[in-house]
Amino acid sequence: MRDRAEIVQQLIAWFGVHARDLPWRHNDPWAVMVSEFMLQQTPVSRVLPLWQAWLERWPTPAALAAEQSSEAVRAWGRLGYPRRALRLHASATAITERHGGQVPDRLEELLALPGVGDYTAAAIASFAFGAAVPVLDTNVRRVLTRLEVAEAVPAASLTKAERARAQLYTDAAGQLAPRWAAAVMEFGALVCLARRPRCASCPVAHACAWRAAGHPLPAAAARPQSWHGSDRQCRGALLDVVRRSPGGVPTQVVLDSWHLRAQAEACLAALEADGLVHRTADTVTL
DNA sequence: AAAGCGGGGTT
DNA sequence: AACCCAGCTTT
């Protein structure tokens, strides 16, 4: 019989010893929210310096909402997925207008904010407000899949079974649910690693079905679109040219920064449609 | 369910 | 060169 309460207790104990001292863990809900946006598909090490600069400049949602969204895109720099900057700015505006400038604490209200999905809503509710909700990020999905399903990698998309499983652990944690949420995520990030898990220093190896099965390898994953020459690389290159030129850049300079004219035209149009750049007669601005 | 969206560090 | 990273939105 699986003793989830024991696993919860052991990983919380592990967390007490090994948790990183990440700055957003002892800051206000807005600071937590900014960190969650930046951490979407982005490693902690790259987020740390930008998060600090962002909060010094915009310490509240109202402060960010008072700026043009283009300033948010510029400050986002090369963190990646710049639409996150637009969505964070739009969320700050919504919080200022609809929530009196305070980050909401209910899942339903959080989910209504642009750029906030299931994971981010649960993370803010748990980490900033102490809500007893499952927080299912890529780390937690991997940990629970290995513990109970005996597979190295979770399914491509979140399943009902995973949600139900995560809920069992949250229930088992009781009052310690927020602590559990932080602990199991940290455990996935530091020990139960995707590539080379450190099973020798795992406090719950005794309960791991994947380990018991002999660490079967994952099925070969589908190849993503190659980066070199992709629209994503093109968009990033074009946006970087615009971002580094206060006051705007001639359209021709932007287009000439990419080696394929047709692709550059299409990507610039897409960036404009996304609201990441704006075009006047013959110049491009943020 | 699958595709599109960034960028950089690690292996 | 492939893999990975505190995902969200649209189709």
pLDDT for position A176: 97
Radius of gyration, CA atoms only, chain A: 21
Q: pLDDT of A74-106, one tens digit each?
A: 999 999 999 999 999 999 999 999 999 999 999
A48 exposure class (CB count in 10 Å sphere: 0-12, 13-18, 19+):
middle
- Strand-pair partners of A283: A250
pLDDT for position A1: 64
- From the list A235, A216, A229, the residue with the least C-alpha distance to A274 is A235
| Residue whose CA lies closest to nucleotide C7 C1' | A40
- A225 pLDDT exceeds 90? no
How far apart are alpha carbons A254 and A215 in whole angstroms? 49
Neighbours of A263 (CB within 10 A): 18
User: Does the CB of A27 fall within 7 Å of any strand C atom?
Assistant: no
Reduce the DSSP state of residue A284 to 3 states and report it. strand
- Options 1.10.340.30, 1.10.3720.10, 3.30.1330.40, 1.10.275.10; CATH of A1-221: 1.10.340.30
Q: For chain A, which residues make up each domain, given as ranges?
A: 1-221, 231-285
The closest nt to A235, taking CA to C1', is: B6
- A71 pLDDT exceeds 90? yes
The closest nt to A233, taking CA to C1', is: B6
Q: Which fold has domain A231-285?
A: Arc Repressor Mutant, subunit A (1.10.10)
**What is the rounded average pLDDT for all residues in chain A?**
95
pLDDT for position A137: 96
User: Does the CB of A91 fall within 7 Å of any strand C atom?
Assistant: no
Q: Mean pLDDT, to the nearest integer, of A63-83? A: 97
Please report residues contacting nucleic strand B, using a CB cutoff of 7 A: A 41-43, 45-46, 78-83, 156-157, 159, 195-196, 222, 225, 227, 230-233, 235-237, 239-240, 270
The closest nt to A91, taking CA to C1', is: C8
- Tokens linked to A11: 């990983």
Q: Estimate in Å the CA A1 to C1' B9 gap, whole number.
A: 41
User: Does the CB of A87 fall within 7 Å of any strand C atom?
Assistant: yes
CB A242 within 8 A of CB A183: no
Reduce the DSSP state of residue A136 to 3 states and report it. coil
- The bases of strand C with some atom under 7 A from any protein CB are 2-9
